[in-house]
Structure 1
Amino acid sequence: MFHSCSRRSLLALTVLTVGLLLPSSLLAGQTDRRLDLYFIDVEGGAATLIVTPEGESILIDSGYPDYGGRDLNRILHVVTDVAGLDRIHHAVVSHWHLDHYGNHAALTSEIEIGKFWDRGIPDALQEDRKFEERIAAYRAASQNDSGTLRAGDHFELDSTAAPLSVTVATASREVIENTGQPNPFADQHEPRPEDPTDNAASLSLLFEFGDFRFLCCGDLTWNIEAKLVTPNNPLGKIDLFMVTHHGLPTSNNPVLVQAIDPVVAVMCNGPTKGGHPDTIATLRSCESLKHLYQLHRNVKLGPEEQTPKEFIANSEPTVNCEGRWVKASVAPDGNSYTVQIGTDGKVREYQTRTSPAGN
């Protein structure tokens, strides 16, 4: 279970007793003590499943509703068939756009969810006229008892392997304290008009497992990205980066991307959504980047404008898409990690950048 080390009052994370009573053989992660991250293909939405060494599960976002249950079924397949889970301990919403929380309510009719987490529920959403109706389903699923995450919250997660924690770096347009080393790219920021949408209010989560560091920023946009990392960089360097906002150029400000300088990046784009050449160029400019994985080939771009085909999980348009996922798996000591596409993809190993072998 989580233990909060937030600067505000202790925030107890609810893990139902039934989760603690499951036999260890039924809890993914407990057999190999690895930290597993699954980037699920929801056709340009987002759904990321994290399974800790103790078998505790965190689902960040849940893709689109409808489409014949396409995204819902893909999530359930990874959760139950691939990860071997029979419940989701924590379901997180990064922000209130339908491609990110579209199946949170539907999931509760298929699998037990211990606790819901979000940035707080607004009264209305200007860009979504159906928000009142849609949020009613989420309130019902969460029994109107979701936990609110704020910038600066820090949680220690149970782990008999390397120490494991998560820090909320941004929430509701607020950012963590601007400490750390000066950002050498700070003067490159070119402000843009204020983004009034809920994208700018996205949760950003920094996971640390020993020396391994993973960053997920939802759909955080340009100016808030800069606010987070200027003039100093409180995030430091990152091993694995979930490319923000599906790879759209309204996000992925070089002042942030180049500052965190990821070694591996995973882009949760769709055949026609995201995967923008400007974002790919920004990623390629990062000194440490070894590989970019895309959940989809961008059908509008040529092969030279995106990552090589062996790093693309799905190459067909939506109608023929297999929905292959990308998995990252971190060693128990946090010193190395692997990334592969689907169950039969090539397993590539990377050294954590701050481990002795990764320096």
Structure 2
Amino acid sequence: MRFWMFISACFLGLLISSPSAEAGKEDGHLDIYFIDVEGGAATLIVTPVGESILIDSGYPDNNGRDRDRILETIKLAHLDHIDHAVVSHWHVDHYGNHATLSSLIPIHNFWDRGIPDALQEDKNFDTRIADYRAATQNQSRTLSAGDHFELDSNGTPLSVTVLTSSRNVIPNTGEPNPFASESEEQPRDETDNACSLSLLFEFGDFRFLCCGDLTWEIEAKLMTPNNPVGTVDLFMVTHHGLPTSNNPVLVKAIDPTVAVMCNGPTKGGHPDSIATIQSCQSLKHLYQLHRNVKVDADAQTPAEFIANSEPTVNCDGIGVKASVRPDGSSYTVQIGHDGKPIEYQSRER
């Protein structure tokens, strides 16, 4: 089953076909699983034809905690392999289990922003990237800002566009951004967070944005003076909800209906980021994977929209799932595998 076909003809020969896991996809929905990896990131997307995309893979070690939570989610999604594993950027809480997972379940394709020669903020980078190179057999593929892919979807158009990669952004076209003046200048971020991939998924009218750990400066570069992204329905809150990201110039301009924050008990979920998200005009609900145990309850989303309330030692690792109707007209979000779904309407495009 073909996946991600580059619009640019020069890349067509790079794609590899891979069979889909059809089990569990008779309903034709687009499913998005936000996996609790304790303040890291791991998001599993399963398309209407059963094609699977794993974006990031949480922390290594911790007795295999994040690895096992990812594998359990893969099992719940009735998958026996991963078609595409994506690394948003080279921090260990985002690609820590790619190599280990590849030894336990087939991964057909690896995608990233390109592998740097060194990473000053990680003294163990040489060892970790060697493991990643071995897992990918040095065949990982680089995603660049502006790359656009059409995905198989049984009818309703499904695509993904790369908005940012390695500090580069798509052209700043579109309508003037009314929130451009809210982007206060901050010092240049020299870490790999600023190099994060940002991916915009579109399924009919439904739009989902995931920006890894993209930081303030590049968010502003993407979104000023114009808004080339438009609005979205579902937003994965950037950088676990830390205030070095979630620039109002981006968050308010995309104006999500629903946001999901992949924070931990003590990492992310910062009151400033939460306040920015909650100021969005169209926001109906913010979901948090964790209650921030260091922040007062009134500075967080209501308790019924928090998946895990206990510190790490007692955490059940409950995730959040979004499921989009086959025509893209609406979607549900629920906490946990058996949680009660809440329905939301996609914006008409």
Residues 53 and 161 in structure 1, CA contact (< 8 A), matched pair in contact too: no
2:37 is equivalent to residue 42 of structure 1: yes
Matching residue of 1:352: 346
Bigger shift: residues 153-162 or 45-54: 153-162
Question: Which residue in 1 is equivalent to 2:10?
Answer: 9
Distance 1:250 1:276 in 2: 10
Task: Name the structure 2 match of 1:179.
Answer: 173
Separation in structure 2 between the aligned mates of residue 222 and residue 7 of structure 1, nearest angstrom: 30
Deviation of residue 286 (structure 1)? 0.4
The aligned counterpart of 2:184 is 190
1:4 aligned partner, one-letter code: M
Q: Which of residues 58, 72, 75 is equivalent to 1:63?
A: 58
2: CA distance, partners of 1:151 / 1:334: 25
SS in 1 for 2:88: coil
Q: 1:236 aligns with which of 223, 230, 233?
A: 230
Q: Secondary structure at the match of 1:313?
A: strand
- Counterpart residue type for residue 63 of structure 2: G
Counterparts of residues 193-208 of structure 1 (less than 5 Å): 193-208=187-202
Contact 1:337 1:350 survives alignment (8 Å): yes
2:134 to 134, 140, 159: 140
- Kindly state the Cα deviation for residue 54 of structure 1 after the two structures are TM-superposed: 0.5
Residue of structure 2 equivalent to 1:251: 245
| Distance in structure 2 (CA, Å) of the matches to 1:330 and 1:273 | 29
Distance 1:320 1:99 in 2: 20
Is 1:311 equivalent to 2:305 in the alignment? yes
Contact conserved, 1:124 with 1:132, CA < 8 A, in 2? Answer: yes
Structure-2 separation of matches of 1:139 and 1:6: 27
Aligned twin of 1:73: 68
Does the Cα contact within 8 Å between 1:162 and 1:334 map onto a contact in 2? Answer: yes
Count of aligned residue pairs for this structure pair: 347
CA contact (8 A) 2:160 2:202 kept: yes
Select which of 268, 273, 291 maps to 2:262: 268
3-state SS of paired residue (2:103): coil
Q: Is the 8 A contact 2:252 2:280 kept in 1?
A: yes
SS in 1 for 2:82: strand
Contact 2:201-2:208 within 8 A present in 1 as well: yes
What CA deviation, in whole Å up to 9, does each residue of 1:215-244 have, x standing for no partner?
000000001001001111111001000000
The answer to whether structure 1 residue 53 and structure 2 residue 48 are counterparts is: yes
- Who is 1:214 aligned against? 208
Alignment TM-score, normalising by the size of structure 2? 0.97
Match of 1:89 in 2: 83
Equivalent residue for 2:287, pick from 290, 293, 312 = 293
Query: Taking structure 1 as the reference length, what is the TM-score of the superposition?
Result: 0.95
User: What aligned pairs does 1:119-130 form with structure 2 within 5 A after superposition?
Assistant: 119-130=113-124
Residue 8 of structure 1 deviates from its aligned partner by: 6.6
Residue 189 (structure 1) shift: 1.2
Aligned letter for 2:154? Answer: T
Q: Percent identity?
A: 72
Deviates more, 1:178-187 or 1:58-67: 178-187
Residue 334 in structure 1 maps to residue 336 in structure 2:
no
User: C-alpha separation between the residues in 2 aligned to 1:58 and 1:157?
Assistant: 11
Does 1:32 pair with 2:34?
Answer: no
What SS is found at the alignment partner of 1:115? Answer: strand
Superposed CA RMSD:
1.1
**Is this contact kept in 2: 1:15–1:89, CA < 8 A?**
no
Query: How far apart, in 2, do the equivalents of 1:3 and 1:83 lie?
Result: 20
Aligned match of 2:277: 283
Say whether the 8 Å CA contact 2:3–2:51 is kept in structure 1: no
| Aligned residues of 1:91 and 1:113 also touching (Cα < 8 A) | yes
> Matched residues in 1 for 2:7 and 2:197: separation?
16
User: Which residue identity is paired with 2:238?
Assistant: T
Deviation, 1:109, is 1.2
Task: Give 1:3 shift.
Answer: 4.2
> 2:196·2:211 contact (CA, 8 Å) conserved in 1?
yes
The 8 Å contact of residues 7 and 152 in structure 1, kept in 2 or not, is answered as no
Q: What residue in structure 1 maps to residue 112 of structure 2? A: 118
AA partner of residue 2 (structure 1): F
Gaps of 5+ in 2: none
